[in-house]
Structure 1
Amino acid sequence: MTASLFIRRLATVARVTEWWGYKFAPIMAICFASVLLTNNPIWLLSGQLLLLLLALTTAATYVSLLNDWTDRADDALAGKSNGLAHTSGGRVALLLGGCLLAGVGFGWYFWHISPVVAWLYFGTWVVFTAYSLPPVRLKGRALAGVLADAAGAHFFPQLTGVALIAASLHQHLPLLWLVGVSVWALACGMRNIIWHQLSDATNDAEAGMRTFVTRFGASTVRRVVEWAVFPVEVAALVVLLGVSGRVAPLVALLLYVGLVLIRRYRLKMTLTIVQPQPYSHVLLNEYYEVFLPLSLLLAAWWHQPADALVLLGFGVLFGPTLWRTVRLFGLAAWWLTQRMLPAR
């Protein structure tokens, strides 16, 4: 097997397309904003940001492999496909061992920058191991599972990035920024894992999995998210936008709202906070993945021309995620232009 074929197969098994743009673009956005808070150009940290992406990719691959391997019995009961169902234990152990070895290497590097960065990075590994691996297996323990997934997928990676920026630049970031990032990341993570649990509720119930949704019911969980988790997420976002002191993210938010309205009234899409629905748009996720990072990079480029290289690199790395929005934005602009032109 060639190296490229092995990487493609590993990417498929690790479900890279499910978390690359969806989780890593918002992490990059917070990193960009953190650099701008220090009044430094982003390109100075481009090497560290690439290393962070590689380190988090290793952790995410480990998480995906471990989760699928420990889910085999439950997936079989629910009649759900599993990418590792027919993979030998030896091969899975080799892949997991390789991820762990690489993770230790990244942690060692981060430790030499700052022990705080290393501990935050290892936090993702520890939490997700407890989330998936018996006998702890927090995945089947209702609220504990939700908090573990939110911490492993959002809270620890976001804070790892922020701590890496601060340590690399030898600067302290505002306490309100750190608190805002922490609360926002945890709330985002909770909403996203509950969305996943709602979409998989039937399979989880058939497998006897005691997730937060199967334990308390879909309607109750939706109300918790809509009336508690989501308002906290929005409030934390407002704090972050306020502390950043940048106009560009606010303009981007208005553009995003405009696109949401076009989706709702022109394209007849359903707007949702957490409930999975056909032909729907989950509120704010696109802002975090596309509008926020692009607005920050454009603002950085305006003041520091060399940051155009970071903008280009972000476009290359997250092209598929960006293209969907850029294409829709172009179609919306064309539609509005046609509406404004006088009839012939």
Structure 2
Amino acid sequence: MTLIRKIYRVFRLSEWWEYKIVPVLAIAYATCIQLDISIFSNISWILFLLVSIIVGAIYVSTINDITDMEDDLRCGKENRMAKIQPKYRFIAPLVCLLAGCFFAYQMSVDLISLILYILPWIVYSLYSFKPFRLKERGFWGVLADALGAHVFISLLIVSSLSFKNNALIDWTWFTLVGGWSLTFGIRGILWHQFHDRENDLESGTRTFATARKPDEIKRIEFVLLFLELPLFIGMSFKIQPMLILPILLLYFLFVLLRHKCLGYKPVIIINPKNSPLQILMIDFYLVFFPLGLLVFSGFNHGNFWILLGHLFLFNSKLRKVILDSYHILVSNKRYFMSSP
């Protein structure tokens, strides 16, 4: 267990395990439903893609720590790679690169998927390493992160599952997924950069967020959300609108009750000061959406064990939703007990 905890800390799994992986899995589940194929019959290939993506995520987390080391030390921010001897620091990313070559070879019969798998490795290398260091090149860094962490991976899922099932790519679905993942990805990296803004200013790291005041972003955060939501609703109509839209309404009711009863302020990008917050749509993408798809698939194909497997691997956000729901019920106990 001690070794697992060390691996968990070194590779920063807590920072990306659910946030990066679950939306990709949700796209896999949704693509299976959209193609009218069984998630169960494709689970081995979905797991193969998942492992290939995790290897890439570990590569990204390690090279980010290595290339951010000097900046982190200047502002007193913990950097896990600083604790590792210099001669050992590149072992993990090199092993990941070798593993990535293996996964790329396995995808080589599908040219579109192969390109989509390789692109995040290239983009994140350009994002982190000098002389390119896109992280410090304003909006190019924002775009690179959104493309590498969300767009290319989501489109890989769509293209690869289509190819594996001898189905033509549905280009409308492909475009909707790409547009949604781009807007969601941009919103995610902007939140992260503004969350780290003070550290970056102290260390002298030039990012899109350090060049702008938070008030400037408040003018465009609604634009991003209003682009993201219609794209997702368009995806819903390509899957099962009678399934997704009620779950979406249930989520917004949860957001409202969480705000009214627990004081969690809904946030698009910029965090409020000294106030608990909930980033809009995050819990939906990490909990409501994937679980709704798996329940739907379970009723249609009778494979509820996939739901159990998903919950075993990804459950921290669900536990938080359940806990907050309990607190909401407790805070309104008198109301519910007095209702006829």
TM surpasses 0.5 = yes
Match of residue 254, structure 1, among 245, 249, 270: 249
Separation of aligned partners in 2, 1:330 and 1:177: 37
Which residue pairs with 1:18 in the alignment?
15
Which residue pairs with 1:29 in the alignment?
26
Q: What pairs with 1:66-215 in structure 2 (closer than 5 Å)?
A: 66-112=63-109, 114-215=110-211
Separation of aligned partners in 2, 1:95 and 1:192: 26
Separation of aligned partners in 2, 1:117 and 1:325: 35
Query: 1:76 is matched by which residue type in structure 2?
Result: L
Q: What pairs with 1:314-325 in structure 2 (closer than 5 Å)?
A: 314-325=310-321
Query: 1:46 is matched by which residue type in structure 2?
Result: I
Which residue pairs with 2:308 in the alignment?
312
Which residue pairs with 2:269 in the alignment?
274
Deviation at 1:190, TM superposition (A): 0.5
Separation of aligned partners in 2, 1:210 and 1:192: 18
Separation of aligned partners in 2, 1:316 and 1:95: 26
Residue 319 of structure 2 is aligned to residue 291 of structure 1: no
TM-score, normalised to structure 2's length? Answer: 0.94
Q: Tell whether the 8 Å contact from 1:62 to 1:100 is kept in structure 2 after alignment.
A: yes
Gaps of 5+ in 1: none
Deviation at 1:276, TM superposition (A): 2.1
> Matched residue of 1:10: which SS?
helix
Q: CA RMSD in A?
A: 1.8
Separation of aligned partners in 2, 1:63 and 1:95: 10
Separation of aligned partners in 1, 2:339 and 2:158: 52
Separation of aligned partners in 1, 2:161 and 2:269: 32
> Matched residue of 2:82: which SS?
coil
Query: 1:205 is matched by which residue type in structure 2?
Result: L
Q: Tell whether the 8 Å contact from 1:249 to 1:291 is kept in structure 2 after alignment.
A: no
Which residue pairs with 1:339 in the alignment?
335
Which residue pairs with 1:237 in the alignment?
232
Q: Tell whether the 8 Å contact from 2:262 to 2:328 is kept in structure 1 after alignment.
A: no
Tell me the number of residue pairs that the alignment of Structure 1 and Structure 2 aligns. Answer: 338
Separation of aligned partners in 1, 2:27 and 2:334: 37
> Matched residue of 1:172: which SS?
coil
Separation of aligned partners in 1, 2:339 and 2:126: 63
Which stretch shows the higher mean deviation, 45-54 or 287-296?
A: 45-54
Residue-by-residue CA offset, 1:191-224 (whole Å, 9 max, x unaligned): 0110011111111112222211112332212322
Query: 1:291 is matched by which residue type in structure 2?
Result: F
Q: Tell whether the 8 Å contact from 1:212 to 1:221 is kept in structure 2 after alignment.
A: no
Separation of aligned partners in 2, 1:95 and 1:6: 15
Separation of aligned partners in 2, 1:7 and 1:217: 40
Gaps of 5+ in 2: none
Q: Tell whether the 8 Å contact from 2:251 to 2:288 is kept in structure 1 after alignment.
A: yes
Which residue pairs with 1:52 in the alignment?
49
Separation of aligned partners in 2, 1:314 and 1:343: 37
> Matched residue of 1:230: which SS?
helix
Separation of aligned partners in 2, 1:269 and 1:224: 22
Q: Tell whether the 8 Å contact from 1:297 to 1:311 is kept in structure 2 after alignment.
A: yes
Q: Tell whether the 8 Å contact from 2:261 to 2:328 is kept in structure 1 after alignment.
A: no
Query: 2:36 is matched by which residue type in structure 1?
Result: N
Separation of aligned partners in 2, 1:131 and 1:34: 29
Mark the CA change 1:270 to 1:105 in structure 2 (over 3 Å): closer, same or farther: same
> Matched residue of 2:80: which SS?
coil
Deviation at 1:334, TM superposition (A): 6.3
> Matched residue of 1:216: which SS?
coil
Q: Tell whether the 8 Å contact from 1:188 to 1:233 is kept in structure 2 after alignment.
A: yes
Separation of aligned partners in 2, 1:32 and 1:336: 35
Which stretch shows the higher mean deviation, 258-267 or 272-281?
A: 272-281
Deviation at 1:7, TM superposition (A): 4.2
Separation of aligned partners in 2, 1:98 and 1:7: 18
Residue 219 of structure 2 is aligned to residue 223 of structure 1: yes
Separation of aligned partners in 2, 1:254 and 1:334: 22
Query: 2:234 is matched by which residue type in structure 1?
Result: V
Residue-by-residue CA offset, 1:115-154 (whole Å, 9 max, x unaligned): 2112111111111110001110000000000000111111
Residue-by-residue CA offset, 1:255-311 (whole Å, 9 max, x unaligned): 1111111111111111111112341111001100000001111111121112x1211
Mark the CA change 1:343 to 1:129 in structure 2 (over 3 Å): closer, same or farther: closer
Q: Tell whether the 8 Å contact from 1:69 to 1:84 is kept in structure 2 after alignment.
A: yes
Separation of aligned partners in 1, 2:187 and 2:16: 15
Separation of aligned partners in 2, 1:336 and 1:248: 28
